[in-house]
Amino acid sequence: MINKKSQEFITYWKNWQKYNPRTYKDIELSDAEMSKYSLILFGDAEANLITKKLSHNIPLKISSQEIEISGKTFAAKDACVQMIYPHPNNPERHILVIGATSGEGMFFCNQSTLNYDFIIQDGVIPNKPGLTKEKFNIASGIFDYNWQIKNEFLNTGDPALRNNCPIRRVLPDLTTKIDNLPVIDSHIFESYKGKYEIQPGVNIDVYTDSDKLMVKTPDGARIQLLPLSDSDYFIEVADIQVTFGKIENGKVDKLTVHQNGRDSEAKKIE
């Protein structure tokens, strides 16, 4: 899983920077090179030799059930942690440690979430569009000037919200399944069927296939809409949620797409 995630990051970096990143296996990096560069380390001290060499000066401890950062402990089964910290061997450089409480937990490492000094995530899927994602992560935050955690800089997930969410499980073959999805009556799916205009002349089609609610995108892709509630749905392969809206007589008149903190409406035209 570490190899899979590191390869994903290399692809992400190439697309972002238009340049190949400098990469090493942990057993190939010399002590001089280890101290020279800022480092992105895939694997904690038990999985990455370089992380192990630096671990005595990194305030991060990971076990199968919890993660400790700068003295604060978080329950975190099958979860991933990403943490930025000053390089212990070079005050002009930094390190990013990407570790997990299990191989399954490493699956949830996501580079698009690196808006914090540290973040701990698991397979919980937010089911309340419009609420900040911090409510659904295990924890996230920024360090103070002394690289310590203070409560005013710390976000922890809402236990009640997290317990009611769908959760993605990683199977031994690295595919996933989603548990805790609500069961939606088929007649509700029928009311959502139709064509929606996302911009002038560009439409998406919502339809049913057996007991599934599906969407056909403008480029012809066919994607299942998985339920969060009667009116709220999400797309598993992307960080996108959809809310169907109704007018006073109960007729569906639009859908709203929630993506990257932004909302866009599509009017139902057929």
Give the model's pLDDT for residue 262.
Answer: 84
Give the model's pLDDT for residue 112.
Answer: 66
Q: What is the pTM of this model?
A: 0.82
Give the residues of the chain that fall short of pLDDT 70.
112-113, 129-131
Cα 53 to Cα 217: distance, rounded to the nearest angstrom: 49
The domains found in the chain, sorted by start residue, are: 2-178 (no CATH), 186-268 (2.40.128.50)
